[in-house]
Amino acid sequence: MEAVMVDRRRFLALAAGGLTLGMAAPAAGQSFVNVLTGGTAGVYYPLGVALGRIYGERIQGIRTSVQSTKASVENLNLLQAGKGEIAFTLGDSLIAAWKGDPEAGFKAPLDKLRGIAAIYPNYVQIVASRESGIATLADLKGKRLSVGAPKSGTELNARAILAAAGLSYADLGKVEYLPFAESVDLMKNRQLDATLQSAGLGVASIRDLAASVPIRMVAVPAEIVAKIGAPFRPGVIPAGTYTGQDGDVPTAAIPNFLVTHAGVSDDLAYAMTKELFANLDQLAAAHAEGRKIRLEGALAGMPVPLHPGAVRYYKEKGLQP
């Protein structure tokens, strides 16, 4: 936070009044914010680190921590258990959590979840080594594929994409359930043919892979996306996103959300929502996907009830939740 120069009298007057320059209102008894993210090689983590820094600097009277997790499914279960205050999640995982889907990792409906904001889209990014010969989804049959950490948002995406393409894990030569960075390490060592990673564009793990070995981005055609349905929608990985990617690649996009839980005070949820949108420049500096977070899109497709504190902020901004 930039230093603010005030004379001594003004400073003492403000201090006596219980105010802190440049900081949001106190968080009504809440003193700790744990930001639940994902693997360190993904997009959730750098954005979460930036968000934790913003909250620590801008919300009076709290301490923050940033937790690296297996991402969406773990994050939502942790929120339900009150072991975090704000979390990143994929939209399909959030829908499954709210309904309660044991196959997706939710034994019962997670009824304490509350929405903060829609943020940026994830893109299903299937990356094969050129030497594997994989060029289409059908070519994955008999090949070695990493589908993300078990029951992570990425792994749920992998199941959906393969099923729509008429494939299952049984059709693959080998399935690995690994986070992004570990998947890339195995591909570099020729122990995997491909990895499916659901993340923002320009994710560090795929940049690392593309800088090390020749790759091919595998398309997910629009007709496959249509078979899956909402919240999946057609998307494009633009040419040049990764080294060696010469053309646009069609794929599936899924919205990401920031969520909290009902036990978080209205004041804290209000402050977290306010400081998110008041400091978008810091999120953009942390990762390019942060540039896609916009107030005007914050309510789009939210599949769980908004937290009352977030509702208060949006109404102040003229939005109707």
Q: pLDDT of 232-244, one tens digit each?
A: 999 999 999 999 9
Confidence category of residue 14, pLDDT binned at 50, 70, 90: very low
Provide the CATH number for the domain formed by 27-120+255-316 in this structure: 3.40.190.10
- Close Cβ partners of 112 (under 8 Å, ≥ 6 residues apart): 79, 80, 82, 261, 262, 263
167 neighbors 207 (Cβ within 8 angstroms): no
Position 90 pLDDT exceeds 60: yes
% the chain with pLDDT above 70: 91
- Close Cβ partners of 251 (under 8 Å, ≥ 6 residues apart): 123, 124, 125, 126, 219, 220, 225, 234, 235, 236, 237
Q: What is the pLDDT of residues 194-205, one digit of tens each?
A: 999 999 999 999
Question: What is the reported pLDDT for 13?
Answer: 34
Q: What is the pLDDT of residues 250-304, one digit of tens each?
A: 999 999 999 999 999 999 999 999 999 999 999 999 999 999 999 999 999 999 9
- Tokens standing for 247? 């053309």
Mean pLDDT of 46-70: 96
126 neighbors 218 (Cβ within 8 angstroms): yes
Integer Cα distance of 232 and 153 in angstroms: 13
Half-sphere exposure of 75 (CA within 13 A, CB side): 34
% the chain with pLDDT above 90: 86
3-state secondary structure the chain: CCCCCCCHHHHHHHHHCCCCCCCECCCCCCCEEEEECCCCCCCHHHHHHHHHHHHHHHECCCEEEEECCCCHHHHHHHHHCCCCCEEEEEHHHHHHHHHCCHHHCCCCCCCCEEEEEEEEEEEEEEEEEHHHCCCCHHHHCCCEEECCCCCCHHHHHHHHHHHHCCCCHHHCCEEECCCHHHHHHHHHCCCCCEEEEEECCCCHHHHHHHHHCCEEEECCCHHHHHHHCCCCEEEEECCCCCCCCCCCEEEEEEEEEEEEECCCCHHHHHHHHHHHHHCHHHHHHHCHHHHHCCHHHCCCCCCCCECHHHHHHHHHCCCCC
Q: What is the pLDDT of residues 157-212, one digit of tens each?
A: 999 999 999 999 999 999 999 999 999 999 999 999 999 999 999 999 999 999 99
Q: Report if pTM > 0.75.
A: yes
Q: Do domains 27-120+255-316 and 122-254 have the same CATH topology?
A: yes
Question: CATH fold of 122-254, please?
Answer: D-Maltodextrin-Binding Protein; domain 2 (3.40.190)
- Residue-range domain boundaries for the chain: 27-120+255-316, 122-254
Beta bridge partners of 237: 249
Confidence category of residue 12, pLDDT binned at 50, 70, 90: very low
Token pair 């899956």 in the structure block, residue:
228
Confidence category of residue 149, pLDDT binned at 50, 70, 90: confident
Q: Work out the mean pLDDT of the chain and round it to a whole number.
A: 91
Give the alpha-carbon dihedral of 166, 160, 137, 226, to 10 degrees: 80
